[in-house]
Amino acid sequence: MANPLRRHAGHAAHTPARLGVVKPADQPASEPRSLDSLVHHRLRLGVLSALAGTDSMTFNELKAVLKTTDGNLSVHGRKLEDAGYVDCRKTFENRKPVTRYRLSADGRRALQRYVDHIEALVRVTRRSLEK
């Protein structure tokens, strides 16, 4: 996929730092300015976004909403769980196993930082386009 911050092949990519993107006021100085690569992946961002709007979702609900396979959701769900961004609970309902995901407080903060960063990139890009 082409870099959306690249003007054309002859110009170097414009990084957020070069475009003047600043860290949000509540972001500690020790945190990098780059996007959280864990959140930035399409499927993981989809999982976090879907969970942000509800208390919890089952594996099958997430799979249907995100239109993905069992294997993909399982792999990316595990990465989010290992990072502490989602909580995963396995139970039985009517003798059938049910896996339920919930966005953790850390996951909500990571998603908020990601959205703030994307919004900052959009603002800078809009200003650049208006010139």
Q: pLDDT tens across 61-94, in order?
A: 999 999 999 999 999 999 999 999 999 999 999 9
Dmax over Cα atoms in the chain, in whole Å?
62
Q: What is the mean pLDDT of residues 119-124?
A: 93
* Architecture of the 37-130 domain: Orthogonal Bundle (1.10)
Q: What is the pLDDT of residue 1?
A: 44
Q: Residue 89: what are its φ and ψ, rounded to 5°?
A: -125, 130
Buried b (16+ CB within 10 A) or exposed e, 50-82: bbeeeeebebeebbeebebeeeebeebbebbee
CA distance 70 to 63: 7
Provide the mean pLDDT of the chain: 82
CA distance 60 to 55: 15
Of residues 8 and 63, the one with the higher pLDDT is 63
